Homo-oligomer: A and B are copies of this chain.
Amino acid sequence: MADPGSGGALSALELYNRVSEQGDKVRALKTEKAPKDEIDAAVKLLLALKTDYKNAAGADYKPGAPPTSDTPDTSNGLPAASDGDDFVDPWTVQTGSAKGVDYDKLIVRFGSSKIDKDLIDRIERVTGSKAHHFLRRGIFFSHRDMHQILDAVEKKKPFYLYTGRGPSSEAMHVGHLIPFIFTKWLQEVFNVPLVVQMTDDEKYLWKDLTMEKAYQYTIENAKDIIACGFDINKTFIFSDLEYMGMSSGFYKNVVQVQKHVTFNQVKGIFGFTDSDCIGKISFPAIQAAPSFSSSFPEIFNGRKDIQCLIPCAIDQDPYFRMTRDVAPRISYLKPALLHSTFFPALQGAQTKMSASDPNSSIFLTDTAKQIKNKVNKHAFSGGKDTIEEHRKYGGNCEVDVCYMYLTFFLEDDEKLEKIKQDYTSGALLTGELKKILIETLQPMITAHQERRKQLTEDLVKQFMTPRKLAFDF
C-alpha cells in the first residue's frame, strides 16, 4: 500500500553499506581526535542510518551480517532522510556542508520531483503571472503532483492551499515567513481558498508548555501571518485546540487517518519510541487531516473532492508522504506539494534557524539597530580575511549568508546578479554586502511591524472563525 510516488527509498542492502561506511567514518574521526561537534554529528547520522536500516531490513544492524532478503518493507513507513552528510526529519535538519543540504539528493531520497524550467514556465502560462522569485531562484525546488493541480486549473476545477505553523514561541523570525510569503503569492495568482493550521496541540505535546500558552502563541503567530497580507475573504486560520471542537468534519478525518496508520509506520517515519506519549504517536493524523477538503465543511460545503496544494519546507514532507499513502485508502485525493529549501541561520547554512537562539536569526520584533548589529556581528561571510585578499580572489557567494538572505528578500533579479558578480570578483567587500542586506531587511521588517500593529483582536478573530469564504462550492 506504499505510495508509488514516494518511492526512491533505499533498499536494506544499500542502507547496510551506508551504515558500514558511516561507522568507519566515526571511528576515523575519533582516531584523529576531530572536534566534538563533528563527531557528534557523525554519530547522530550513524544512529539515523541504523534506524533506517532496521526499518528496511526488519532487524537490527549487525556488522558483518548483511541483510538476507533485499526487499525493503516500505509499508512500514519511509525512514527519515539521511543522505551522505545530511539528516532531515520534521525536528532535525543537519548537514556537514556550509552550502547547506544537498537538495538534489533529497529529491531522490524523498522520491519527489524537481521543480524544473518546464514546470515554472507552465505555472507562468496558467496563471498569466511572472513566477515568484522563490520559484525562479530554486527556493521552492521540489514538488509532488503540481502538474495535476495545473491540469485542474486548466479544466476550471477548484483547488485549495494548506500550510501551517507550529506556534512554539511568540517570536517568529524571517525564516518562518518564507512559506507564508510564497503561499500569499499562490493565493493571489490562482485565486483560491487557503487554510492555515496552527498546531498548538503539537507544541503542547512536544514542549514543556501549558495549553493556554500554546494557544496564546497561536494568536500571536496568527498576527504575524495575517501581517503578510492574506485576504480575509479567502483565508481561514485555525488553532487545532480550538477548531477540533468547532468542526463537524475535522475529527472524523483525523480518526479515518488514525485507523489506517500503524505504530510501526509512524515509528519508521518519525522515529517515535515506546516511551513517547500517545499524543505524539497519533499527532501525524492531525497534521494530515487538513489535506482533505471535508475537514472544512463550512468552506467547501461538505465537498470531499477539492484537491489540496501544500506549500511547506521539505522537512514537513514525511507528514504528507504518510498522508498521500493513506488518502486513496479512505477515498480521498492525495494532496499536491511544493517544497522549499531551509532558511539558513545567520551563522551558516549547516542548520535551520532556531527560535531559541536570538542571535541565530533576525526576528520579526527586532529593531533596525538590532538587525544591523546581528548582520554585522553574526552573519557568516564568504569573504576573504583581508581586504587585499578579497580584492584579489573575490568572495564566495555559495557560503555567504548575507548573499543567501538576499536571494530570499531582494526581489530585483538584475541587482542580485550584479551583487553576485561584484562579490565574486572582489569588487564588492563584505562590509558593503552586509550593508545591502541590512538596508533590505530594515524597511521590510519595519513595514511588517507596522502592518501587525494595525491588526485588531477582532480581525484576528474573524480570520479564525469557521465560515464560508468568497468561493462557491
Q: A244-B244, A247-B245, A282-B281 are in contact. Are A211 and B255 (CB under 8 A)?
A: yes
Residues of B within 8 Å of A261, CB to CB, are: 277-278
Interface-side segment among A64-72, A262-270, A367-375, A450-458: A262-270
**Is B204 touching A255 in the complex (CB atoms < 8 A)?**
yes
Apart from the given pairs A205-B259, A245-B245, A245-B246, 17 other A-B contacts in the complex at a CB distance below 8 Å? A205-B258, A244-B244, A245-B247, A255-B279, A258-B278, A260-B277, A261-B277, A262-B278, A263-B263, A263-B272, A263-B275, A263-B277, A263-B278, A263-B281, A266-B278, A267-B274, A278-B281
Residues of B within 8 Å of A248, CB to CB, are: 242, 245-246
Residues of B within 8 Å of A252, CB to CB, are: 211, 241, 245
A190-224 at interface with B (beta carbon < 8 Å): 201, 204-205, 211
Residues of B within 8 Å of A263, CB to CB, are: 263, 272-278, 281
CA distance in complex: A250, B246 (Å): 11
A67 to chain B, nearest CB (A): 20
**Is B256 touching A264 in the complex (CB atoms < 8 A)?**
no
Among B244, B274, B282, the residue within 8 A (CB) of A279 is B282
Q: A241-B251, A251-B244, A255-B241 are in contact. Are A285 and B274 (CB under 8 A)?
A: no
Chain B residue nearest to A247 (CB atoms) is B245
Q: Is A167 on the interface with B (CB-CB < 8 A)? A: no
Residues of B within 8 Å of A111, CB to CB, are: none
Chain B residue nearest to A266 (CB atoms) is B278
Report whether over half of chain A's contact residues are helix, strand or loop; otherwise say mixed: helix
Q: Is A249 on the interface with B (CB-CB < 8 A)? A: yes
Q: Is A382 on the interface with B (CB-CB < 8 A)? A: no
Residues of B within 8 Å of A267, CB to CB, are: 274
Among B251, B255, B264, B266, the residue within 8 A (CB) of A205 is B255
Residues of B within 8 Å of A318, CB to CB, are: none
A66 to chain B, nearest CB (A): 24
CA distance in complex: A248, B248 (Å): 13
Residues of B within 8 Å of A274, CB to CB, are: 262-264, 267
Chain B residue nearest to A267 (CB atoms) is B274
Which one of A276, A281, A285 has the greatest number of beta carbons of chain B within 10 Å? A281
Among B241, B249, B275, B284, the residue within 8 A (CB) of A245 is B249
**Is A258 touching B282 in the complex (CB atoms < 8 A)?**
yes
Which one of A204, A205, A277, A285 has the greatest number of beta carbons of chain B within 10 Å? A277
A231-248 at interface with B (beta carbon < 8 Å): 241-242, 244-248
Among B262, B272, B278, the residue within 8 A (CB) of A275 is B262
CA distance in complex: A266, B284 (Å): 19
